[in-house]
Amino acid sequence: MINTRIFISGGAGVIGREMVKYCIKEGYSVMVGDLLPMPNEFSKEVLYRQGDLNFITQQELDKFNPEVFVHLAATFERSDETYEHWEQNFLHNVKLSNHLMTLMRNVPALKRVVYASSYLVYDKNLYNFIEPQPNPVKLKEDSIKEPRNLTGMAKLSHEIELEFLSKFNSDKFKSISARIFRGYGKGSKDVISRWIRDALNGDDINVYNREGVFDYIYAKDTAEGLIRLSQIDESGIVNLGTGRSRSVEDVISILSKNFPKLKIKYTHSDSLYESSEANVNKLESLINWLPKYDLEQTIEKIIDYEKYNQPVVKYSNVLITSISKKVPLINAVTKATKKINDSIKVYGGDSNESCIGKHFVYGFWHMPTIENLNFEDLIKFCEEKNIKFIIPTRDGELKYFSSIKYELLKFGIFVKVSDEESITLCLDKLKFSNLEGGNCIPSFEKVEDITENRVVVKERYGSGSDSIGIDLDKKNASIHSKKLKNPIFQPHINGQEISVDAYISVEGDVKGIIMRNRDLIINGESQVTSTFIDDSLEQEFRRILTSLNLFGHVILQAIKSDDNKIYIIECNPRFGGASTLSIEAGLDSFYWSYLESMKIPLKDYQFFRIQRNLTLVRYPKDIFL
């Protein structure tokens, strides 16, 4: 299977990690998507996408163009699911499976889909009993189906969805659903791994219904079985188990041999006794293979693994400052964090306690003004709220945060802002206009120094878009300048105004560029803006951006003159009001920023630009709370 392209959803999980190792060894080209960061054990050959796959796009999948799709990603709980599982089951089982297949069915090279289903689809009355049973019930693929819980319902639902798609796409790809029995493995949440962790910590292991009988299948066997199923030209349903069930008492006995001082707490339970086992006749006939690992071999492997297991990843929260009424920006940040993990909370801060934005964040901080913001108070708030990532949004605070960014790093707090020298240059329009090789419109402190007849007058520092005077004669430009604190003058150039949104990584690489026309401008802000693609123009902007020593989301404002020359007006080293269009077009700035705040390099996260042109219309909207 050398060079076969395989996409594995949930590939950082207990089965996925085994599957990735197997695939790399066999010569596959592997892409993995998972909520978790890329496991250290993965080789550099693996193309990894961290984040919620509910947000993966057609462009990302088409770019890799997998021939095989193995769908492992799912959320599980114990047999008795909690109330909170209601939402998680829908998002990460029902919705996710539907979303992925909605996209995968369109992938040009797709030939094979393997779905990790579960024996939970079978009627529990077939294998649950009031009393312990001497012999396990062999469940066959045609046994009665009556999902045991929400997870079982979701698994059966997607089996039916795949069956539906097969009616229309059988000539393009074939799918098979493997009903996996009682899975366990290294770093799992299953009961065997939990007991091993308890034993290593010297804690009691809590045991009930020790006479229960299960078909335990080791993750390495599950991974190999799924890959073998991906290599055949068959559709439908198949059990994936060992066909050799074992009792809970067997597990306890093996653990006791490895932990002579094992502390066991037997607990009474009113739950029924399970006694189940996979009928694996169909599995063996399809792939001429059966799982080979037994509990005696594998429990020792899991013990060795758990001794050196990495701690569970804990995600920190985000603070957006000067949120004012920047609701689209808040929503964009929230959406980006959900792509990574839905436990991440977005806080907002502003010196105006009545600001609109406070209604759209998880928690609000009535901040002091930036002039009165005490470093210790900032640290205290961030530590109380587990905030490790700060997003400044206003020109007036960029210099403050750039001056303390390295001090904040000592506390593990990452600020998405460029260095102080670069910020100072960008905020001073007079200095910026004199940047060598920047193709900037020249600026002057005196209107008399301009040779052209038509003039633009603006504030030297900050944005000040509402106070700008455009296309004035020199006399009126001089009058208008009296209203400004630090006026500068520029020649007026006729042409199309352009905004260039870009993301620059911490290494200084221009990750991506989105160019857009400013179709309707009100008070200096784009109310209607539309993307366009021009490769030669993009290369010129990339050259200019590389020379500025900036980081994070950056906006260049430019004019393409009537004689097709490009002039840079200014540079805003922050996210702009209409920059949400760039995110929609593929410039995933806040997602990339959060990854970089976790010290995750962006080299493995590709920029997928939407090839069609998009238009953004900004308008006020009512919301009812």
Q: Any idea what the CATH number is for the domain that residue 99 is in?
A: 3.40.50.720
Alpha-carbon distance 104 to 100, whole Å? 6
Picking from 557, 499, 495, the residue whose alpha carbon sits closest to that of residue 531 is 499
Q: Are residues 406 and 525 in the same domain?
A: no
Q: Where are the alpha helices (DSSP H) in 147-273?
A: 150-169, 191-200, 219-230, 248-258
Q: How much is the mean pLDDT over the chain?
A: 92
Picking from 296, 338, 316, the residue whose alpha carbon sits closest to that of residue 390 is 316
pLDDT of residue 530: 96
At residue 70, the 3 state secondary structure works out as: strand
One-letter identity of residue 514: I
Strand order of the β-sheet with 363-366 is 363-366, 346-350, 317-321, 387-391, 414-415
User: Would 79 be classed as within a structural domain?
Assistant: yes
User: Would 263 be classed as within a structural domain?
Assistant: no
DSSP, residue by residue, 468-490: -EEEE-HHHHHHHHTTSSSEEEE
pLDDT of residue 308: 81
Beta 174-180 vs 236-240: how paired, if at all?
parallel
Q: Are residues 43 and 68 in the same domain?
A: yes
Which of 260, 293, 326 is the C-terminal boundary of a domain?
A: 293
Please give the DSSP secondary-structure letter assigned to residue 465.
G
Higher-pLDDT residue of 434 and 372 is: 372
Confidence of residue 608 (pLDDT cuts 50, 70, 90): confident
pLDDT of residue 9: 98
What are the CA-CA distances from residue 597 to residues 107, 210, 405, 413, 414 (Å)?
32, 46, 12, 8, 6
Neighbouring residues of 169: CB distance < 8 A, sequence distance ≥ 6: 105
pLDDT at residue 78 tops 70: no
DSSP, residue by residue, 332-372: HHHHHHHHH-TT--EEEEES-TT-GGGGGSSEEEEPPPGGG
The least confident of 306-310, 317-321, 367-371 is 306-310
pLDDT at residue 79 tops 80: no
At residue 11, the 3 state secondary structure works out as: coil
Higher-pLDDT residue of 183 and 37 is: 183
User: Would 517 be classed as within a structural domain?
Assistant: yes
Structural domain span for residue 501: 429-441+493-617
pLDDT of residue 596: 94
CB atoms within 10 A of CB 182: 22
Q: What is the domain count for the chain?
A: 3
pLDDT in tens, 453-486: 899 999 998 765 668 889 999 899 899 999 999 9
Q: Are residues 48 and 150 in the same domain?
A: yes
Q: Are residues 223 and 346 in the same domain?
A: no
Picking from 16, 149, 3, 145, the residue whose alpha carbon sits closest to that of residue 71 is 16
pLDDT of residue 466: 63
pLDDT of residue 312: 63
User: Would 330 be classed as within a structural domain?
Assistant: yes
Q: Are residues 398 and 341 in the same domain?
A: yes
pLDDT of residue 213: 96
pLDDT of residue 463: 67
Q: Which two tokens stand for residue 570?
A: 């200014």
Q: How far is CA 248 from the centre of its chain?
A: 38
Neighbouring residues of 287: CB distance < 8 A, sequence distance ≥ 6: 225, 228, 229, 231, 232
Q: Are residues 283 and 371 in the same domain?
A: no
Alpha-carbon distance 151 to 159, whole Å? 12
Do the beta carbons of residue 180 and residue 71 sit within 8 Å? no
Q: Are residues 233 and 326 in the same domain?
A: no
Picking from 234, 216, 235, 227, the residue whose alpha carbon sits closest to that of residue 289 is 227
User: Would 20 be classed as within a structural domain?
Assistant: yes
Share of the chain above pLDDT 90, in %: 75
Place of tokens 């080791």: 218
Q: 3-class secondary structure for 51-77?
A: CCHHHCCHHHHHHHCCCEEEECCCCCC
What are the CA-CA distances from residue 568 to residues 167, 299, 490, 499, 526 (Å)?
55, 65, 12, 10, 17
pLDDT in tens, 261-286: 999 998 888 889 999 999 999 999 99
pLDDT at residue 392 tops 70: yes
CATH number at residue 582: 3.30.470.20
Place of tokens 């003039």: 455
What's this model's pTM, rounded to 2 decimal places?
0.74
Q: Which two tokens stand for residue 11?
A: 């590939």
Alpha-carbon distance 493 to 489, whole Å? 12
Q: Are residues 396 and 517 in the same domain?
A: no
Q: Are residues 64 and 103 in the same domain?
A: yes
pLDDT of residue 80: 74
CATH number at residue 346: 3.40.50.20
Q: Are residues 12 and 58 in the same domain?
A: yes
At residue 126, the 3 state secondary structure works out as: helix
Which of 234, 261, 293 is the C-terminal boundary of a domain?
A: 293
At residue 510, the 3 state secondary structure works out as: strand
pLDDT of residue 622: 87
Q: Are residues 126 and 20 in the same domain?
A: yes
Q: How far is CA 362 from the centre of its chain?
A: 19
Alpha-carbon distance 446 to 505, whole Å? 38
Confidence of residue 289 (pLDDT cuts 50, 70, 90): very high
pLDDT at residue 287 tops 80: yes
At residue 184, the 3 state secondary structure works out as: strand
Q: How far is CA 538 from the centre of its chain?
A: 27
Mean pLDDT, to the nearest integer, of 389-401? Answer: 95
Alpha-carbon distance 96 to 115, whole Å? 13
H and E: helices and strands count for the chain:
19, 31
Picking from 272, 252, 250, 275, the residue whose alpha carbon sits closest to that of residue 264 is 252
User: Would 467 be classed as within a structural domain?
Assistant: no
Confidence of residue 1 (pLDDT cuts 50, 70, 90): low
Alpha-carbon distance 466 to 8, whole Å? 51
Picking from 576, 575, 578, 611, the residue whose alpha carbon sits closest to that of residue 592 is 575
User: Would 103 be classed as within a structural domain?
Assistant: yes
Place of tokens 């312990």: 132
User: Would 302 be classed as within a structural domain?
Assistant: no
At residue 576, the 3 state secondary structure works out as: coil
Q: Are residues 171 and 60 in the same domain?
A: yes
Beta 317-321 vs 387-391: how paired, if at all?
parallel
The least confident of 25-34, 361-370, 439-448 is 439-448
pLDDT in tens, 215-267: 999 999 999 999 999 999 999 999 999 999 999 999 999 999 999 999 999 88
